[in-house]
Structure 1
Amino acid sequence: MQDWRVLGEGACAYFRTGSFAAGAQFVQEIGELAGAGADAPDVDLRPEGVTVRLVALTEDYYGLTERHVELARLISAVARKLELPADPSAVQTVQVTVDALTGPAVVAFWRALLGYRERAGSPEDLVDPQRRGAPFYFQQMAEPRPQRNRVHVDVWVPHDLAEARIAAAMAAGGRLVNDEFAPAHWVLADPEGNEACVGAAGGPDPAPAGR
């Protein structure tokens, strides 16, 4: 399915519509395909295009399902019928990672502050129950690491575009800190040393960013 890219736990696709009206028609047809329930897609409608994300969020599961594979094919078929091109370069997801020495206490604070909830089976992850805000991951630390920032951003990009994104960040003044897990995970830093991770799921040897 060339329209779709796996980013973190979900699959994403972006379809260029050219107008809000064309996008609304597309979203209506997606709704007729998807129905209700945990497998229904998250859809973001903008005047320029429509982003579709497939990820289930229930009390005991967070991620892709078998139904999502079928649904992705059906959504792509509707896009072709409406002559809406997919643009994989336009998809990404962002996660905030916090280094924590007292994990449960830190998680409790951010859960209350954000109104988030724990991801199913993963108390070190918080997710937005409305699936709008960036997820938070709390990385347990045995001791402080003063050489790096305690909060950083993980950016998930399509695996076939990761190296271009990294090159652009480095051309803009960044530097490569660690590529031990490339081509699935890189650590970069801005000109002042603030770190960020780039994750490329769906390619060879996928590994979670920020972990």
Structure 2
Amino acid sequence: MRLLGPALLPRVARMASVRQVQVTFDSTEPERLAHFWCAVLGYEVPTPPDGFAPWTDYDASLPAESQGRAFVCADPTGAGPRLHFQRVPEEKVVKNRVHLDVRVGTDLEGDERLSALQAESDRLVALGAAQVKVLHADGVDESCIVMQDIEGNEFCLD
């Protein structure tokens, strides 16, 4: 596949600038999955709209077909992307085409890195995640651990 360089992009495309990214997950239980990822990443659930104390009050104000349809969590520092979870009727059945890398082993190598990754894996397994496999350093890439969240979405501890 040939990537377009800046000179080949239309003028309008070159002028656009992305300032924020939101990552959206299909889910069967959006709120539950959002709380899982809050615990993984140290994210928080934003405050509900004005006039609603807990999110459950806001959700109850929606039409029945919209209740429980979506939930979000966000990085309290504003540095990371917002995560949006939307209810879909079907279960996950194939490997993700896109996944998150949770960066816990940055600047670590060898046994020290693998130990840090395994400690985080153990913490996440206690939250309901599953460890799928450990990929050991091969001389080119450092070790990482492939995980699944509580709905089976793959992510890596890197």
Kindly indicate which of the two structures has a greater share of residues assigned to strand.
Answer: 1
Q: Which has the higher contact order (CA 8 A, sep 6+)?
A: 2
Please give the range of the TM-score, normalised by the shorter of the 2 chains.
0.3 to 0.5
